[in-house]
Structure 1
Amino acid sequence: MVDARLQRLLSAFPAVALLGPRAVGKTTTARSLAGSVVRLDRAAEAAAFEADPDAALIGLAEPVLLDEWQEVPGVLGAVKRAVDDSGRPGRFILSGSVRAELDTQTWPGTGRVIQLAMRGLTVAELEGASASSPFLQRVTANDPAALGPGSEDDLRSYVQRALRSGFPYPALRLSDDERRTWLAGYVDQVVSRDAPHVGGARSTVRLRRYLEALALVAGGVVTETTILQASGLNRATAQSYEQLFVDLHILDLVPSWHSNRISRLVKMPKRYLSDAALIAGVGGLTAEDVMRDGDILGRVLDNFVYQQIRAECGVMDVPPRLYHLRNQDARREVDMLVELGGGRIVGIEVKATASPSRHDARHLEWLRDELGEAFVAGVVLHTGPRAFSLGDRVTAAPISTLWCQVEQAVVRGR
């Protein structure tokens, strides 16, 4: 999804920072558009940029890909100065696996470098089944036919899709057993090399324990105390580790949604791992293990759906904002809220059932009644075979409608 977006940004801006977790395919994507490539994670290539980054940039064919820029942070200043001298489009691509430097208020790229997040491959990309129009556009039509045909997928096949991963190498090249080995190695790399390298000396044992706690609460709204108890860490250490995994693009914090129209909503974020397969990878779980544990099953499914929605939002020219909603007594909860332009709201529930009913949509109906016209659509994503209406502006639809192909005439007809 991100390739076309990156190309458009380079045609309009002098520099683009392509950010995402390690092994997500940033280098491959950026190389396809680069005029020259500098691998700053290679000592021989980094040496010149450490000594004199301004001089090292001179004469390189543009766009210049500065891969793993965080290995030589001084290169950011050189990019700033080069862009100040000439702001013509398409000069630099910065590719990296860390967001911390780019998020500071004083970093030299502010106002000069456009950030673009790169996520794992979606099912649509893995299977070449991209829909004729975005899911979020189709769902606002409030017509089951606009969401596409049913599929033969069931709960087990959705779990298998989730555990296939969105990381290109394991998803496209490895068997199930080989993929579990790769994911276990990926987790080891994150806690033993990446996290200490970025955040300074850290205990790999405690880092792993905290990552295991994150996997247990992925897709859920839990108190800080719950995570502290699960990880056995104190508050300061846990907060430090949480920010570290956010900076490494391993963890997403989805904020709670607030409105003056609805009172007593919680302010806690919802936590998702960057790839649902990491939930199983951290614990060494197979698809059978996930199927036998209802709690883990729900978290894997929710995280998997979130990945597909997040990827779609990320490549839109004006990305919608993602939230979750839960009130303080936990009587009302909506898995995901997508805030479109003009304050329009789409509510999404994820259910591990093949036969959803209005009971599964009760929180969406409540939200619709509270928000009135601002609520444009609600959808209960399920594991069954077909889409159908559950009432005014609320639809039940198979999870597969996130990537299914839809006849253009159906979409245009709305």
Structure 2
Amino acid sequence: MSIVPYGYMPRLLDTVLDRRLRTFGAVEVAGPKFCGKTWTSMAHGESIIHLDDANAKQMAELDVSLALEGERPHIIDEWQDVPDVWDAVRRSIDESGNVRGQYLLTGSSTVDKAKVSHSGAGRIATMEMRPMSLYESGESTGAVSLSGLFEGARTTKPVVVDTRALARAVCRGGWPATIESEDEFIGDLPAQYLDALFSISAAQRGIDGRRARKLATSLARNLGTVMTYKTMYADITDGEPLEVASNSMYRNALAPYIAFFEDQYFIENQPGWDAPVKSKSRIRSKPKRTFVDPSLPASLLGMTPERLLREPQVFGTLFEELCLRDVRIYCSAMGLMPNPAVCYYGDADGLEVDIIIELPDGRWGAFEVKLNEQKVPEAERSLLRLKEKVERNPAAQNREPSFLAVLVGKATFCRVTPAGVHVVPITELGA
């Protein structure tokens, strides 16, 4: 009997998940709540147990082998609620002679690795999921393929972009349950997600939910910047200083909150990039802390689609978050191991580029993000400056970018400039 959910909308990672199941004994599908992990797993599985159900959890805690019973591939939903499942799955795979495609483990928070005795290397692969991209929700044509950009593809065509629809997509997010939401309900799911995170999940972790919300709001207010721990601490304490002010003390005070956000797949780090593989700046550059979906900072800032249209600066910042989410999804859809790195570039000369993608084989491409087409010349100059800097760097192994592109919101054409820079509306980008 099929357990494929009725109305399941195919995801770009379906192909990747199939491939992982043909290669490994089990696949962990990890990501934030509500992003579609369970439904996607059900589209590939034959049986399921939900460990967020109290009775099922008690049964698994009594005898973990009972959680493994079922037709294969067998899905163990929210496996992290019973951490012993991980080792039980690994042993089961070993005992079967490493038969492929036996289990799917879904998880919406990372588990304390001290409770797991084996990494699962070679037996259990991890695949990260995020909310839906615009291509998956039917709001992008996918005419410009990210993979195609790396292969030298060029696309020229007229386009029509609905600015109100973009604002709606930012505030609604890519949550599968909200794709067809009526306008009046657009912000409900992100708000519900945040309420659950700061009340239930924070309490379970022993985190002050009120302070966690203030810190998340601080991150939302400062999107696109590299925040210091001192600034974050001042925001959550209303400017109250530490008795002995030092970076390490601010860091220690905030570390539990940042770790909580990361463990819940609420935020993602965007590391700095430099062309030489051994460049110290790759390690020393502080990461930008970004959100897994633009609807979350939009909700934290009290934004609605109509308000976004009246506040273009905020709209531009949240539009960049939307583009970053989609680029990450399209990178994951390539199915490469390890996943392509999604970074940013910034240097002492004041040059900044929003998104750098580096493939495992060293090829790289760069995106600048602009809300409207009028700022394309400015973005083009930044991209060409980066190209020139890398070309002049003798330590760079791959001096020539595979592509340079400007991701735009409102535009009339998908095109390539005389300098070779692609201009791509986000509603035309795909995997």
Report the TM-score when normalising by structure 1: 0.88
Q: Which runs of 5+ in 1 are unaligned?
A: 405-414
Contact 1:251–1:274 (8 Å) recurs in 2: yes
Q: Which residue of 2 aligns with 1:151?
A: 159
Q: Report the Cα offset of residue 205 of structure 1.
A: 0.7
Match of 1:379 in 2: 405
Question: Are 1:249 and 2:269 matched, yes or no?
Answer: no
Distance 1:255 1:37, change over 3 A: same
Match of 1:258 among 267, 274, 296: 274
User: What's 2:78 paired with?
Assistant: 68
* SS at structure 1 position matched to 2:137: helix
Which has the larger helix fraction?
1
Shift of 1:389: 3.1
Give the Cα separation in 1 of the matches to 2:281 and 2:213.
35
CA deviation vs aligned residue, 1:146-167 (integer Å, no higher than 9, x gap): xxx3322154432222222101
Change (3 A) 1:280 1:228: same
Query: 1:156/1:7 Cα in 2 relative to 1: closer, same or farther (>3 Å)?
Result: same
The equivalent residue for 1:350 is 369
**Whole-Å separation in 1 of the counterparts to 2:361 and 2:124:** 27
Q: Is the 8 A contact 1:390 1:396 kept in 2?
A: yes
Task: Give the Cα–Cα distance (whole angstroms) in 1 for the partners of residues 275 and 169 of structure 2.
Answer: 35
Report what 1:293 is aligned to: 311
2:176 is aligned with 1:168: yes
Q: Does the Cα contact within 8 Å between 1:264 and 1:328 map onto a contact in 2? A: no
1:402 aligned partner, one-letter code: L
Map residues 41-52 of structure 1 onto 2, 5 A cutoff.
41-52=52-63
Cα 1:88–1:260 shift into 2, 3 Å: closer
Alpha carbons of structure 1 residues 127 and 102: separation in structure 2 relative to 1, 3 Å: farther
Match of 2:198 among 191, 199, 211: 191
CA distance in 2, matches of 1:123, 1:397: 14
Of 223, 227, 230, the match for 1:222: 227
Aligned to 1:311: 329
Q: What is the alpha-carbon distance in structure 2 between the residues aligned to residue 143 and residue 65 of structure 1? A: 41
CA separation in 2, counterparts of 1:350 and 1:103? 41
Question: Does the CA-based 8 Å contact 2:32-2:130 persist in structure 1?
Answer: yes
CA distance in 2, matches of 1:237, 1:398: 41
Tell me what 1:116 maps to. 127
Q: Secondary structure at the match of 2:373?
A: coil
Superposition deviation, residue 327 in structure 1:
1.1
User: What is the Cα deviation at residue 129 of structure 1?
Assistant: 5.2
The answer to whether the 8 Å contact 1:183/1:278 transfers is: yes
Match of 1:320 in 2: 340
Q: Is the 8 A contact 2:80 2:107 kept in 1?
A: yes
* TM-score (structure 2 length as normaliser): 0.85
What's the offset of the Cα at 1:298? 2.1
Amino acid at match of 1:332: L
1:231 aligned to which of 225, 236, 259: 236
Partner residue of 2:36 out of 11, 14, 25: 25
Identity %: 26
- Measured in 1, the distance between the counterparts of 2:389 and 2:262 equals 33
Could you tell me how far 1:391 is from its partner in structure 2?
Answer: 4.1
CA positional deviation for 1:397? 2.5
Structure 1 residues 207 and 129: alpha-carbon distance in aligned structure 2, compared to 1, 3 A threshold: closer
In the alignment, structure 2 segments of 5+ residues that lack a partner are 1-11, 239-249, 392-398
User: Over aligned residues, Cα RMSD in angstroms?
Assistant: 2.5
In structure 2, the partner of 1:409 is none
User: Number of residues paired by the alignment?
Assistant: 396
Q: CA deviation at 1:31?
A: 1.4
SS in 2 for 1:124: coil
